Amino acid sequence: MFFAVRLDEGDIGLDSVWRCNVANQSTSKACLAHFASLAQGYGHTFLVASVLFHIPHSSRWIPDEWRSQFVLDDIELQRELITMTDSFTDELFDIGNSVDYLRFPVSRLLVDPERFPRDEDEPMASRGMGAIYTRTHDGRPLKSSGRSLELMNAYYHPHHSKLTEWTRRRLLTDDRCLIIDCHSYPSRPIPCDMNREPNRPDICFGTCHPHTPVELVAAAVEAFAEAGYSTAVDWPYAGTIIPLEFYGVDARVSSLMVEVNRKLYMDEKNGEKSESFDQTRIRVGNCLKAIVGNWTDR
């Protein structure tokens, strides 16, 4: 069992922690009491060890300096942002101080951190949706690719450096870690989707061998099913993020994508929260806590 105390902001933009590895219940209580008194003096809180919620697509922000790269007018751009943004997932996946968070700061229309950095490795690049989008969701011109290198250096590479460094540190301290890749998706297929089948489930889980243990998937399916949600694995979306340094070579890095159908919490036409948002956030949050708890206890 691990306990962790948040003490300060780390140099990678995430909270750094002190950890105590305890072997039995009596020792754990003593350890917890010691760190609780220590943390209280600094006003800090306890964390579950080695779990990161990665939130890549929640932002609609396009800094003014990059607006001129887009060929859409303001109304068209706003519509594209509503369609392509995983709106409010930073709130939907917020379960408090029990995990670490890494949120991409700008819109995916500017840079998409979930794509492979090289177009030749990225399936969506054929649709103008590699790391740097040049096409809209329905295939229209979106923006120039003339400053792609600048964008990658400004946003993509720093973000992945943070993700990689977080993973390295967690493997060093705990010898394993879990990344929950946090997304939402349209209730109906959109033109750029690889999978165009209708009747989408409430929740979609994405996996990646060998980084997604079958026990983790089973726990996720069970948690959301018990909450009354329909679920599917790797449908209509598949995969989950793994830092490239560990991709396919280090199974100590676990990852699971969790996607929430937008019909459950927002108006997909105007991009605003629906009346069911708070209820959905609570239910989804309870399911996420169950998943994290199951993984932490293994």
pLDDT digits over 39-97, tens only? 333 333 334 459 999 999 999 999 999 999 999 999 999 999 999 999 999 999 999 99
Domain spans of the chain, in order of start: 1-47, 50-105+164-297
- The ranges of the chain with pLDDT < 70 are 1-49
pLDDT for 98? 87
Closest by Cα among 282, 97, 85, 253 to 182 = 85
Q: Residue 223 contacts by C-beta under 8 Å, 6 or more apart in sequence?
A: 286, 287, 288, 290, 291, 294
Which tokens is 138 given?
């329905």
Q: What sign does the CA torsion over 179, 180, 184, 185 have?
A: positive
Axis crossing angle, helix 277-297 with helix 214-226, rounded to the nearest 10: 150
| Cross-strand pairs, 205 | 233, 258
Give the percent of the chain with pLDDT over 70: 84
3-state DSSP of the chain: CEEEEEEEECCCCCEEEEEEECCCHHHHHHHHHHHHHHHHHHCCCEECCCEEEEECCCCCCCCHHHHHHECCCHHHHHHHHHHHCCCCHHHHCCCCCCCEEEECCCCCCCCCCCCCCCHHHCHHHHHCECCCECECCCCCECECCCCHHHHHHHHHHHHHHHHHHHHHHHHHHHCCEEEEEEEEECCCCCCCCCCCCCCCCCEEEECCCCCCCHHHHHHHHHHHHHCCCCEEECCCCCCCCCCCCCCCCCCCEEEEEEEEEHHHCECCCCCCECCCHHHHHHHHHHHHHHHHHHHHHC
Query: pLDDT, tens digit, for every residue of 225-249?
Result: 999 999 999 999 999 999 999 999 9
CA-based angle 235:239:242, to the nearest 5? 160
pLDDT at 46: 38
| Per-residue model confidence (pLDDT) at position 25 | 38
Q: What is the pLDDT of residue 12?
A: 41
The overall longest dimension of the chain from CA atoms, in Å, is: 64
Domain 50-105+164-297: top CATH class = alpha beta
